[in-house]
Amino acid sequence: MKLFKNFKDKLKPTLTLLAPIAFGAGMLMSMPATVQADETCMSPYMAKISGQEDFVYVWTLGVEGLGDGQDKLVTVSVNPEAKDYGKVRHVTSVGGRNEAHHSGFTDDRKYLWAGGLDTSKIFIFDVHSDPAKPKLTKVIDDFVSTTGGVVGPHTPYALPGRMIWTALSNNQDHGGRTALVEYTNEGEYVDTYWIPTDDNLQGAEKTGQYADGYGYDIQVLPRRNMMLTSSFTGWSNYMMDFGQMLQDEEAMKRFGNTMVVWDLHTRQPKQVLDVPGAPLEIRCAWDPEHNYCFTTTALTSEIWLIEEDGKGGWKASMVGTVGDPADMPLPVDFSISSDDTMIWVNTMTDGKTRGYDITDPYNPKLVHEEYIGRQVNMVSSSWDNKRLYYTTSLLANWDKKGEDNEQFLRLYHWDGENMEEQFTLDFTKEKLGRAHQMRFGAYSLYGKQAKTENNAAENLAVNNK
């Protein structure tokens, strides 16, 4: 942990001099970097697995010299009635190392799209023909040239008949200015939507100090015709060695401080909101009467609420903190419960997850704290709020070193008061790589009967929320 002590000491003057929230954000981003890691952060246009999931698909970074060294989609059996419960069911390698990061289903949930932050390749897997054995069916390798210079596809998000991607960078300066990119479900390019900047607001209202053009995550509230994006950092930072970046004063300035409100139907940016500290993941409420979303900031360890301002627009307010910000816990991924009563926030530095009661969204209340491991990044919550899955990797060059570089998938049961560990799958021991982002799969999504190794799957309920 010496690296992180040094990081904390170095960051104090940076916080004073660089409100743009340099590093903290970055750190978190990787988590998730992640995107939408779980059932409750999925697009509202998709069917949800409201009962027991059969599989967790883990988008995994390859490690040179470990197994085949390639990025891969690892299918883990997670139905307790399966004979191979807690074990690897299938592995689909994609060739090479691309900085595997986030993935997402199409609206019909038949295909899983997954991206690489370094090579900007997109991999499309068929998960409906045989949910236990995803098959790579298409690779999009012209993302940069087709989109007009967008680099680093980060979060794929399902819209009706469409997949829209956030990205992290561009091919001009490899900084944080970037865009959204839209495809059809068949993988045909539709359009590029650049994020507003000070010199090109594209009709959006700049409501605060910043319009940096940075991107990261995406969520929508269809009932309000609202799409919301957050911000992180560019290729030159997220591909840099972590220790080297800490020593680079210019790199430490290059982190996002904004969220953008878009017209969902027209893809037109409407407002640029100041959310200093690198706002990463976005989680929106599910109840039709709850028109608000949350984000957490990496550098400042804050919880922010994005809500309507009563004037036809939106506003962002800081409503809480994660741990003790002075200790730099570095919030990464977080999840919201399907009943809008809890959020679970992971912090990378101390390896903890924290559960907050958000029944009053203006006053999140810490109700549970649990140590997960020496390194923790992503958290995925089941729709019935009974299971919490955790993985560990941030970015290949940002993960902890030595014995602190734990790489696993871990499942806990949550009974409303306590977490009970069910299994841990060691990705290093299994020679799989760095476990990053998770998606859930089930036989019943496609009207399929479970096989003998998993005869409980046919009882799953699918809720078209």
Per DSSP, which regions of 43-149 are E strands?
48-49, 55-61, 72-77, 88-93, 100-105, 111-116, 122-126, 135-140
Give the whole-angstrom CA distance, residue 314 versus residue 126: 38
Instruction: Decide: helix, strand or coil at residue 246.
Output: helix
Tokens of 113: 């799209």
Give the whole-angstrom CA distance, residue 98 versus residue 123: 10
CA 450 to chain centre: 29
pLDDT by residue for the chain (465 residues), tens only, comes to 333 344 344 344 333 333 333 333 333 333 333 333 358 889 999 989 999 999 999 999 999 999 999 999 999 999 999 999 999 999 999 999 999 999 999 999 999 999 999 999 999 999 999 999 999 999 999 999 999 999 999 999 999 999 999 999 999 999 999 999 999 999 999 999 999 999 999 999 999 999 999 999 999 999 999 999 999 999 999 999 978 987 899 998 899 999 999 999 999 999 999 999 999 999 999 999 999 999 999 989 999 999 999 999 999 999 999 999 998 898 999 999 999 999 999 999 899 999 999 999 999 999 999 999 999 999 999 999 999 999 999 999 999 999 999 999 999 999 999 999 999 999 999 999 999 999 999 999 998 876 534 333 332 233 322
Enclosing H/E stretch for 14 = helix 2-17
Residue linked to tokens 């807690």:
86
126 with 137: CB under 8 angstroms?
A: yes
Contacts of 311 (CB under 8 A, 6+ apart): none
Give the whole-angstrom CA distance, residue 12 versus residue 223: 42
CATH ID of 2-463, from 2.130.10.10, 1.20.1300.10, 2.10.70.10, 3.90.950.10:
2.130.10.10
Q: How many CB atoms sit inside 10 A of residue 76's CB? A: 25
Enclosing H/E stretch for 297 = strand 292-297
Map out the domains of the chain as residue ranges.
2-463
Torsion of CA 211, 217, 219, 224, to 10 degrees: 0
Tokens of 155: 């979060």
Q: What is the pLDDT of residue 163?
A: 98
Give the whole-angstrom CA distance, residue 126 versus residue 113: 9
Q: pTM score > 0.85 for this model? A: yes
Give the distance between the most distant pair of CA atoms in the chain: 61
The 3-class secondary structure across 402-445, one letter per residue, is HHHCCCEEEEEEECCCCEEEEEEEECCCCCCCEEEEEEEECHHH
Q: What is the pLDDT of residue 6?
A: 41
